[in-house]
A and B are shown apart, each in its own frame.
Chain A
């Protein structure tokens, strides 16, 4: 089965720090996504990528950037962490552009103090 691995389950950072959230998938999927999950707001799309070195903004890209240098790895970067970026971050992958099934990682709970 597809495995999507997020590097940390819990992370605590200070305001202003640069934060890297790493995601790796092991099934040669073309598509990768980053979401944040907040109570009452559901899953909001931050960035996604349909190919290596390709990235597209989702609905809430402000304060975030991404990197996809290799097909299996998609990194989310918080350039200068702020308290309102405290959230659960979920990475997902899917086979290709038409695929309806996303495979999610278990998430990283980020706290920015």
Chain B
């Protein structure tokens, strides 16, 4: 049973477009919501994270939007680039539970 539900499973975006990945959770004990990025053959690496008392956090082209009442959060990648092609995982702390992952392909 996945404690964090992630969609879509895969996403294809043209270069320069916006990539949007969504996640939802049920456990209100979760207190920090990170996103991880994984390239083939590598372990996941922290990309950006948000606390539930903040509605949005932006780092460069990456933005997390957080809706506490709906228990949903999303990752937006602006001006998507081929180098962003990877698998993205949302997660929720405590004890770091991950979503099922989204394989993003950015076409040149």
Q: Which residues of A contact B (CB under 8 A)?
A: 4, 33, 35, 40-45, 48, 56, 58-59, 90, 92, 94, 100-107
Complex interface bits, B31-71 against A, C-beta within 8 A gives 1, otherwise 0? 01010100001111110010000000000000000000000
**B1 near A: Cβ within 8 Å?**
yes
- Residue tally, chain B, CB below 8 Å to A: 24
Tell which of A40, A101, A105 touches B43, judged by Cβ atoms closer than 8 Å: A105
**B15 near A: Cβ within 8 Å?**
no
CB-based nearest B residue for A56: B95
Cα–Cα, bound, A45→B43 (Å): 15
Tell which of B41, B46, B89 touches A106, judged by Cβ atoms closer than 8 Å: B41
Q: Are B100 and A42 in contact (CB under 8 A)?
A: yes
Tell which of A40, A90, A101, A106 touches B100, judged by Cβ atoms closer than 8 Å: A40
Which 4 pairs show the lowest CB-CB distances between chains A and B? A104-B43, A42-B100, A43-B98, A42-B101
Cα–Cα, bound, A42→B3 (Å): 11
